[in-house]
Amino acid sequence: MRKLLNLLFATLVIGGSSCKKTVVSLDENSPTVKLKAAASDLTNEWRSNPYKLNVIYFVPTDVDSIPNFRKRISKILLDAQEMFADNMDREGFGRKSFGLDLANDSLINIHYITGKFGKSSYPYSGGSAAVKAEVDTYFGQNPTAKKSEHNLIIIPTYNTDPANPGGPPFYGTGTSCYALDYVNLDAKNLGIGGDIGWKATVWIGGMIHELGHGLNASHNKMNKTLAPTLGTALMGSGNSTYGISTTSLTATTAATFNNSQVFSAVTRNDWYTKATAEISSLSSTFTNNSIIVSGRFTTTIPVNDIVAWHDREPFGGNNDYDAVQWATKIIGQDSFRFECPLTDFYDLSGNYEMRIGFMHVNGSRSTLGYAYNFVNNVPDLSKVVTHKLLPTTGWSTIASDSNEPNSPASNVLDMNRSTVWHTPWSSAQTPQPHFFAVDMGAVRTIKGLAFRNRDNLNGAMKDINIYTSTDGTSWTRLQSAQLSKVAGSWINVDLNNNIGTRYLKIESVNSWGDFFYSHLADFGAYAN
């Protein structure tokens, strides 16, 4: 009852302060108060977006909603809409932004969902799945209420001390993201200084940062030469600068949003269906103090934009906050080119992964990774290349030490990255080393071998031994190598000498993450 009274009170206050005609009605399927206004009341630039962000206020049974949440959250998100549009326009995409389900010019419709359980069932770690399940059930029962695949789910703080909010999930997972509400979560507190202002920046900036994840964006950093004017990247450390100092979308974040469902002005029936892109040729050079990468690609679903991140080790996860980035359009039908000046890097040492992302028109993204490193402040790009592989027609796997029932070694020859060879992990757990052996059907002259990982790199082969044979039974070790911890792209291993052979054996000595198992998606060889 207290939650519902808070909710109704917040709504009445909002309605009383507006000069527009507002109709208040109760959603009969939930305790949500729906606010509706005449279409003539709405002047929001993105009111006609066919897809809108679903904004949900999710309240566990033993937590109270925070007063005036509709007004406060509406202001925050409407401001973010404008900020995103300004940045999209600067990056050449026009004033595009995410759609919101509007009640009137100053309020958005927020779905109020009372959880089935108390807050202990929805902890920060792992609690998002339980929340999402109930949100999915809600939209299953109210299908017309769901406006897109994207959800911003806001949960009241679990802590009663306003100086120390926290408790619920606060991160992005797929097309859903999670944030919290507390009494001082109010746009008027941004930039006022003191503890209230600082925390408002952290939690409001954090909400908009996580919203970026929920709209498909990855972490990245503002390029060094742009930072003096564009400030901090929202998808970098922008959660600590939002509302205090200049905080902007990077080129790659804008390119990502350009292909997000809720930014779209057109409807599609294939949003986020699986799409793949393959780089058919790739070359890289270091010229005029810039890394220049160009290539051609094939794709199953058309691509609008192509992006590149240069991420210094350690890679991925939260560590890609320091990834500098570039975005480009397609050249012709199937080509691309990036020019990445070293003046935009913050550190010219150590190991890097360059990830090239293809932004498909249906919102999907295909990402391919390439490892390189700096030596004396100069990038060694020798591995950032795609070789023309020998056809695997007529090849076969003749042996492997073990495999999961549905993940045989033969999968490494099908040139399908969604199928893998995987040694047992759920039963018969045998330690490293593991191996598979290949018959190429005839003697081939090869210069090197190529390996391709699946996206999940836990257990991906790390250190390997390469063997050859004249009969497929007696093996001679050619050399050892270490495979890069990258996904999507081919990892090339040049042989010490060109060899003519029919049989090859690859032995996994250990794996990334020191797992007892190994896996590989695809295997090939090249002659030049």
Task: Give the per-residue pLDDT at 162.
Answer: 77
- Whole-prediction pTM value? 0.85
Contact 257, 208 (CB under 8 A): no
Instruction: Name the class of domain 277-380.
Output: mainly beta
The two tokens of residue 441 are 């059907």
Q: Compute the half-sphere exposure of residue 344: CA atoms within 13 Å on the CB side of its CA.
A: 18
* CB neighbour class for 497 (10 Å; exposed up to 12, middle 13-18, buried from 19): exposed
Sign of the CA dihedral with 162 first, then 164, 166, and 170 last: positive
What percent helix, strand, coil does the chain show, rounded to 5? 20, 35, 45
Give one DSSP letter per residue of 455-497, joined into a string.
S--TTBB-EEEEEEESSSSS-EEEEEEE--S-SSSEEEEEEEE
The domains of the chain are located at 2-263, 277-380, 396-526
Question: Taking the C-alpha atoms of 480, 521, 220 and 198 in order, what is their torsion angle to the nearest 10 degrees?
Answer: -110
Which of 262, 211, 258, 199 lies closest to 235, judged by CA? 211
d(CA 350, CA 204): 35
Task: Give the per-residue pLDDT at 315.
Answer: 65
Diameter over CA atoms, the chain: 87
The two tokens of residue 336 are 């691309």
d(CA 180, CA 202): 11
- Per residue in 229-252, pLDDT (tens digit) is 999 999 999 999 999 999 999 999
Whether 277-380 shares its CATH topology with 396-526 is answered no
- Residue 424, preceding bond cis, omega within 30 degrees? no
The CATH code of domain 396-526 reads 2.60.120.260
d(CA 410, CA 263): 42
Contact 211, 253 (CB under 8 A): no
Per-residue pLDDT of the chain (528 residues; tens, 9 = 90+): 334 334 333 333 333 333 333 333 333 334 444 444 444 456 899 999 999 999 999 999 999 999 999 999 999 999 999 999 999 999 999 999 999 999 998 999 999 999 999 999 999 999 999 999 999 999 999 999 999 999 999 999 999 887 899 999 999 999 999 999 999 999 999 989 899 999 999 999 999 999 999 999 999 999 999 999 999 999 999 999 999 999 999 999 999 999 999 999 999 999 999 999 999 999 999 999 999 999 999 999 999 999 999 999 876 666 689 999 999 999 999 999 999 999 999 999 999 999 999 999 999 999 999 999 999 999 999 889 888 899 999 999 999 998 988 899 999 999 988 899 999 987 777 899 999 999 999 999 999 999 999 988 999 999 999 999 999 999 999 999 999 998 888 999 999 999 999 999 999 999 999 999 999 999 999 998
Contact 281, 298 (CB under 8 A): no
d(CA 286, CA 382): 10
Which of 141, 22, 125 lies closest to 74, judged by CA? 22
DSSP for residue 64: P
SS3 (DSSP) at 214:
helix
Task: Give the per-residue pLDDT at 23.
Answer: 37
Q: Which residues of 400-427 are buried (b: 16+ CB within 10 A; e: fewer)?
A: bbbbbeebbbbbbbebebebbbbbbbee
Contacts of 405 (CB under 8 A, 6+ apart): none
What mean pLDDT is reported for the chain?
90
Task: Give the per-residue pLDDT at 335.
Answer: 97
Task: Give the per-residue pLDDT at 42.
Answer: 64
Cα of first residue to Cα of last residue in the chain, in angstroms, is 74
Separate counts of helices (H) and strands (E) for the chain: 6, 27
